[in-house]
Amino acid sequence: MGSMAKTGESLMAWNRKHLLDIESLTAEEITTVLDTALAFKAVGERAIKKVPALRGKTVVNLFVEPSTRTRTSFELAEQRLSADIINFTAEASSLKKGETLKDTARNLEAMNVDVIVIRHSASGAPHFLSRVLNAHVVNAGDGAHEHPTQALLDVFTIREKKGSIAGLNVTILGDILYSRVARSDIWALTKLGAKVTLCGPATLVPKTFEQMGCRVTHNMEEAIRDADVINLLRIQHERQRKTMFPSINEYSRLFGLDRQRLGQTKPDALIMHPGPINRGVEIDSDIADGERSVVLQQVTNGLAVRMAVLFLVNGGKDPQEISAN
Amino acid sequence: MNSLLLQGGRVVDPANQRDETSDVLILDGKIAAVGPDAGKRAPGDVKKLNVSGQVVCPGLIDLHVHFREPGQTAKETIATGSAAAVRGGFTSVVCMPNTSPAIDSSATVALVQDRGEQAGLLNVYTSGAITKGIAGEELAQIGSLHKAGVVAITDDGHCIQNNDMMRRAMEYARMFNLPVMDHCQDYSLVTDGVMHEGYWSTLLGLRGWPAAGEEMIVARNILLAETTGCRVHCQHLSAAGSVRLIREAKKRGVPISGEACPHHFTLTDAAVAGSEKFWAEDGKTVFGYDQMSAALPAWPSYHTHFKMNPPLRSAADREAILEGLVDGTIEILASDHAPHCNYEKEVEFDYAPFGITGLETELALSLMQLYHAKRMSLPDLIAKFTVNPARLLALDKGTLSVGADADITVFDPDQEWVFDVNSSRSKSLNSPFHGWTLKGNPTKTIVGGKVVWSGGE
């Protein structure tokens, strides 16, 4: 997929008011976001990183579930697009006093906000909001459902390093069952033609995922042998220790990526992680910092991808014009 | 007074194995005569009603409704619930005890009975709680509840987890010949599940409520019914394994029974992912799909009107429930009418209360999925709404025998109509069937010889 050559063509492929999930997107729409993000990445490398694309627009970051990384990334993306920003967290809001999400959102909308970026612990909350509001809704992670901008930055990073996605073997390791990143990644990767393998303990990687078009295995060696990309997901031991697996130590022994296992992978296999990393659990510390790790590029690209998403849902068409400013 | 002659209808009375074109004479609120010649015995001044082309059957019984009184009258009252019930063709209902406070004392039973009489539309029976406050910890005063007139005991909405408690409740209830009804849900398996555990819960990222969570308790109840000899009734069955277990237990003569609700044998878990996903596959076998296909009802993903407990299950489970109804494993149809306010349902899927209304769509959906789909005869279907629940609860209802109370439902099995939830007589609007084209509609609901609802008027 020669991205720049196709830019003009694929930019036509975005008419969505919201970004709620990857599942409902077409491959063309995903490519449109990636191509748009490429232009915004160039903006981020200039001395003056700000463009006027969202000047006069108001964006609310409605983070009902706590988040540091994603919220910071969205905030910075919004600032670089010159939007006015309101940050809203559940702890310091009327949601804490029992106000419903619908009322909270409609009150915000009554102040004529243009975009609501929502993070919520309940799956489907952004979809619910999109039905009761006129504002644009961007999903910044809903429950165990989806985290679309994370998947977009993941495929952006893979495309940047590997040239294209089609035909790649991508292995996602760890807690798949509770992971919104996994679901969004599965949709984005399979839509773009990658072969996805899921691996982890049977309790966290049920066979049901095969129906989403993935291979499921509980054998780490088998999972990583042919992988072009290995995406490690965070193991949330605070939540799952009780019945999902016996111990962090056992998890690490069975599914952790250490130096010896790294030696069994393809020499050019990329190592990814959406963060925050548990060093020494799902990944050895020095691998996380090693030359095959693209963890920090993912963070950089996240900014460009989020700028692209905010730009597109607001009806933006050609980022080239913007970057000419 | 309360006398009426119904002329020329198809009289279907499974209790008396009657299915013929006939007249039904009601005198002073009782059935006076049934038969082709019944009209001849009518006094000259009796009002006559031509019901030819319609079905005349014993008044329908729904043994599973939530009328929310006392304490939750923003959702429903006994008066509004009664109005919805008679519109749905029902002449008797059994209220569930998970009110606020719970129906766990003779005083609350009396309150429900009084309100039912004040509403004055149909027979409002109530069940009583098995445990105090439906907390599952101490037995309620089951003897007093029996004396006050409950027709069964249940902790519906909750499920007693302590097997010894359940066993003792059965032994105790058996003294009074009271059936024990159970909402079958193993909490340790279900935890905080909000929809059926399967492909769609995986895709939607919603926590799963596995079928085994129901089957586990159905199996427990079978074992305890066998141990104690108590009649045990498993409520709102949703899972294939539950049907299999009950089928096998009944063959052994265990005093166990079950009920099914229209939503469980019409919809599947795919509906939680939105109408497009549902109609793409599972919805195609719903009776009337071809007729509706011009304008299929539409709803978005994560719609909370598709959240109920137990949840909508897979297409295979739906099929197993239908098979269980057809082969007699499941003898009773019920609605689990569970009204909730709009503001309670208009929230994130995880936070919405479980439950949907059902009284007004129940007969039509049952006719569609069972009778019109050519799976079951009309008498077999009507038995599941009349004589079968009456027998389980030992009610003097569900029959057109001479001398019985003249509780009669007249319905047009072929009438097509569109259900508009905004014209519902329930206080709540939480039905997943809004906008559906339904087939079969009650035209007259008669309680004690009095017409309490009349269609098209």
In DSSP terms, A169 is beta-bridged to: A195
CA A86/CA A62 separation, integer angstroms: 8
Pick from B203, B300, B350: which is nearest to A127 by CB?
A: B300
Q: Indicate yes or no: CB of A180 within 8 angstroms of CB of B205.
A: yes
Interface probe, candidates B188, B200, B204, chain A, greatest A C-beta count within 10 A: B204
Same domain? For A132 and A161 the reply is no
A1 has a chain B CB within 8 A of its CB: no
Round to whole Å and give the CA distance between B65 and B22.
Answer: 32
- Record: contact A211-B302, CB cut-off 8 A: no
DSSP A178-236: T-HHHHHHHHHHHHTT-EEEEES-TTTS-GGGGGGT-EEES-HHHHHHT-SEEEEPPP-
Residues of B with CB under 8 A from a CB of A: 198-199, 202-207, 300-302, 343, 346-351
Q: Do A308 and A278 share a structural domain? A: no
Q: Is residue A120 within 8 angstroms of chain B, CB to CB?
A: yes
Question: Which strand ranges, in their side-by-side order, compose the sheet holding B90-95?
Answer: B60-65, B90-95, B123-126
Across the beta sheet with B332-333, the strand order is: B153-154, B180-182, B232-234, B256-260, B332-333
Residue A52 and residue A106 in one domain: yes
- Note whether A145 contacts B350, CB cutoff 8 Å: no
Indicate if the pLDDT at residue A312 is higher than 90: yes
Are A143 and B198 within 8 A, CB to CB?
Answer: no
**Closest listed residue to residue B261, CA positions, set B363, B343, B137:** B363
User: Does one domain contain both A80 and A163?
Assistant: no
Assign 3-class secondary structure to A236-265. CHHHHCCCCCCCHHHHHHHHCECHHHHCCC
* Residues in chain B with pLDDT values less than 50: 457
How far is residue A258's CA from residue A200's CA, in Å, rounded to a whole number? 15
How far is the C-alpha of A63 from the C-alpha of A116, rounded, in Å?
10
B196 falls within a domain? yes
Dihedral sign from CA coordinates of B163, B168, B173, B175: positive
Question: What was the pLDDT predicted at B399?
Answer: 98
Same domain, A18 and A105: yes
Q: What domain range is A58 assigned to?
A: 2-146+302-321
Residue in A131, A145, A208 nearest the CB of B205: A145
Neighbours of B17 (CB within 10 A): 7
Chain A nearest-CA residue for B276: A24
* Tally of domains in chain A: 2
**What is the C-alpha separation between B430 and A307, in angstroms, rounded?**
40
Residues A180 and A194 in one domain: yes
In a shared domain, residues A105 and A165: no
Domain count, chain B: 1
B336 is known as an active-site residue: yes
Q: In this structure, what CATH number is given to the domain that contains residue B192?
A: 3.20.20.140
B350 vs A143: CB contact, 8 Å cut-off? yes
Decide if B265 is inside a domain. yes
- Going by DSSP bridges, is the β-strand pair B450-454/B437-447 parallel, antiparallel, or unpaired? antiparallel
- Look up residue B306 and give its DSSP letter: G
State yes or no: pLDDT of A11 exceeds 70.
Answer: no
CA distance B457 to B449: 19
- A85: DSSP letter: E
Closest CA to B378 of B13, B68, B38: B13
Q: Which of A65, A106, A127, A129 to mutate to test the interface with B (most CBs of B within 10 A)?
A: A127
Q: Answer yes or no: do A290 and A154 share one domain.
A: yes
Residue B47 CB partners (closer than 8 Å, separation 6+): B3, B4, B5
pTM for the whole thing?
A: 0.95
Q: What is the ipTM of this complex?
A: 0.93
Together in a domain, A133 and A152: no
In three-state secondary structure terms, B207 is coil
The answer to whether the Cβ–Cβ distance between A183 and B203 falls below 8 Å is yes
Provide the residue type at B184 as one letter: C
Mutate to test the interface with B, among A20, A118, A128 (most CBs of B within 10 A): A128
Q: Which 210-229 residues of chain A touch chain B by CB within 8 A?
A: 211-212
| Contact at CB, A122 and B198, closer than 8 angstroms | no
Contact predicate A150/A141, CB 8 Å: yes
Q: Provide the token pair at A92.
A: 């310091």
Give A1's pLDDT tier (boundaries 50, 70, 90).
very low
Residue A267 has pLDDT above 50, yes or no: yes
Domain shared by A47 and A125, yes or no? yes
Task: Indicate whether A13 pLDDT > 90.
Answer: no
**Chain B CB within 8 Å of residue A183 CB:** yes
Nearest CA in chain B to A176: B202
**Residue showing tokens 């019109």:** B372
Interface of A with B in 83-112 (CB under 8 A): 100-102
Could you tell me the maximum CA-CA distance found in chain A, to the nearest angstrom? 57
Q: Exposed e or buried b for every residue in B255-274, given b needs 16+ CB within 10 A?
A: bbbbbbbbbbbbbbbbbbbb
One-letter amino acid for residue B143 of the chain = G
Cα–Cα distance for residue pair B235/B418, rounded to 1 Å? 28
Where would I find the beta strands (DSSP E) of chain A? 58-63, 84-89, 115-120, 136-142, 169-173, 195-199, 215-217, 229-232, 270-272
What's the angle, vertex CA B38, arms to CA B32 and CA B40, rounded to 5? 115
Same domain, A142 and A210: no
Q: Catalytic pick from B23, B336, B405, B412?
A: B336
Contact A119, A181 (CB under 8 A): no
Query: How far is the alpha carbon of B347 from chain A, nearest alpha carbon, in Å?
Result: 7
Query: What b/e readout covers A257-290, taking b as 16+ CB neighbours within 10 angstroms?
Result: beeebbeebeeebbbbbbbebbeebbbbeebbee
Question: What is the least distance, in Å, from the CA of A102 to any CA of chain B?
Answer: 7
Task: Look at residue A323 in the predicted model and tell me its pLDDT.
Answer: 55
pLDDT the model gives residue A96: 74
Can you tell me the distance from the alpha carbon of A295 to that of A274, in angstroms, rounded to the nearest whole number? 7
d(CA B370, CA B368): 6
Q: Is A119 in the B-facing interface, judged by CB distances under 8 Å?
A: no
Task: Report the percent of chain A where pLDDT is more than 90.
Answer: 78
Share of chain A above pLDDT 70, in %: 93
Q: Do A124 and B202 touch (CB under 8 A)?
A: no
CA distance A145 to chain B (A): 4
Model pLDDT, residue A240: 57
**CATH number for the domain including A77?**
3.40.50.1370
Domain-located, residue B240: yes
- Residue A92: pLDDT above 80? no
> CA B424 to CA B357: how far, in whole Å?
10
**Could A123 and B349 be called an inter-chain contact, meaning their C-beta atoms sit closer than 8 Å?**
yes
Local structure of residue B270 (DSSP, 8 states): G
| Strand segments (E) across B127-203 | 153-154, 180-182, 195-196
Nearest CB among A102, A144, A211 relative to B205 is that of: A144
Residue range(s) defining the domain that contains residue B293: 60-392+412-439
Asked if residue B70 has a cis previous peptide bond (ω within 30° of 0), the answer is yes
Place of tokens 């074992």: B223
Q: Which of B198, B205, B349 sits opposite A183 (nearest CB)?
A: B205
With cut-offs at 50, 70 and 90, classify the pLDDT of residue A90. confident
Cα B145 to its chain centre, rounded Å, is 22
Do A315 and A230 belong to one domain? no
pLDDT tens string B35-69: 999 999 999 899 999 999 999 999 999 999 999 99
- pLDDT tens for each residue of A151-198: 999 999 999 999 999 999 999 999 999 999 999 999 999 999 999 999
- Which pLDDT band holds residue A12 (cuts at 50, 70, 90)? low
- Between CA A141 and CA A119 the distance in angstroms is 5
Contacts of A124 in chain B (CB under 8 A): 204-206, 301-302, 348-349
